[in-house]
Amino acid sequence: MNFLTQIDNLALIALLAVSGTALFLPTLSTLIGGKGLSPTEATILINRRKAAVLDLREAEAYKSGHLPGAKHIDAAGLTAAIEKLKLDRNNPLILVCDTGTQSRKVIAEVKKLGFAEVAALDGGVQAWKAAALPLVK
């Protein structure tokens, strides 16, 4: 009976470790890649704080549907494209791509340009669509 109790305890400890890791992963990805926003959080920033939205996808993907008010920029010439737009560096900036991966990768580069608050849309345009939020063509 003592042996079975030890196995039960090990199973509970393993379950605790797996659950804790699963809960911590989103926080870890934010710490490594920068701030990520849900579609709801992005909408609030856009509506309440006049956040600018930059779409990093290919031109064809942008034309097929993008977030309202989003500006298309070429990810390869990111710095020049942002400078050309003359955005207010005191307002939040939301970076958008198809899945959120590319946007997270350039957060640090955009922050170096003097933007106080830069975030990526978690899940990108795919998450925006899944949340049934509008796209503009």
The per-residue pLDDT for 76 is: 85
Query: Distances from the Cα of 60 to the Cαs of 10, 28, 35, 56, 110, in angstroms?
Result: 53, 33, 27, 11, 23
Span 95-127, pLDDT tens digits? 999 999 999 999 999 999 999 899 999 999 999
pTM of the model: 0.75
Instruction: Pick the catalytic residue from 37, 53, 97, 121.
Output: 97
Task: Report yes or no: 126 and 133 within 8 Å, Cβ to Cβ.
Answer: no
pLDDT at 93 over 60: yes
Q: Give yes or no: 97 in active site.
A: yes
User: Contact, 34 vs 118, CB < 8 A?
Assistant: yes
pLDDT band (50, 70, 90) for residue 27: very low
Query: Is the model more confident about 107 or about 19?
Result: 107
